[in-house]
Amino acid sequence: MLTLMLTIGMVFNAAEAIDQISLSTSSDIYYSGDYVVVFGNVNTIFENMPITIQIYHDSNLVDVAQVVVAQDGTFVKSFNAVGQQWAGEGSYTIRAQYTPTQIAETTFEFFYSDD
């Protein structure tokens, strides 16, 4: 019985590793007018299935895009930080979702500039 439980645990951990997304930005701080560059990698690639990238500020959706995942598992998207939705300063959350179980989040700081 103990051996069976260890085997199940190992299979579960292997499945978790397959479903990972790495997610990063080109900077930790952005200002209005900057391009927020979001990039990452998925371990499992599904043909013709885009990754959805959402940017939130205070639980409000600021921007969203569906991005094609390259054959090597990488993705990249630039968001132009302009417009009324980018008026709030503070911490912004980026959420990337590829499948119901492949979800990653990261944050950056945003500051408004009148320039």
Residues 57-83: tens digit of each pLDDT: 999 999 999 999 999 999 999 999 999
70: domain CATH number is 2.60.40.1930
Asked whether the beta carbons of 11 and 29 are under 8 A apart, the reply is no
- Cα 61 to Cα 84: distance, rounded to the nearest angstrom: 12
Which of 81-103 are b and which e, b meaning 16 or more Cβ less than 10 Å from the residue's Cβ? beeeebeeeeebebbbebeeebe
* Residue 9 forms part of a structural domain: no
pLDDT for position 85: 93
pLDDT for position 113: 78
| pLDDT in single tens digits along all 115 residues of the chain | 444 444 444 444 444 455 689 999 999 999 999 999 999 999 999 999 999 999 999 999 999 999 999 999 999 999 999 999 998 999 999 999 999 999 999 999 999 876 5
Give the torsion sign (CA, 9, 14, 24, 92). negative
Structural domain boundaries, residue 59: 21-111
* Residue 12 forms part of a structural domain: no
* Residue 66 forms part of a structural domain: yes
Number of structural domains in the chain: 1
Question: What is the pTM (predicted TM-score) of this model?
Answer: 0.81
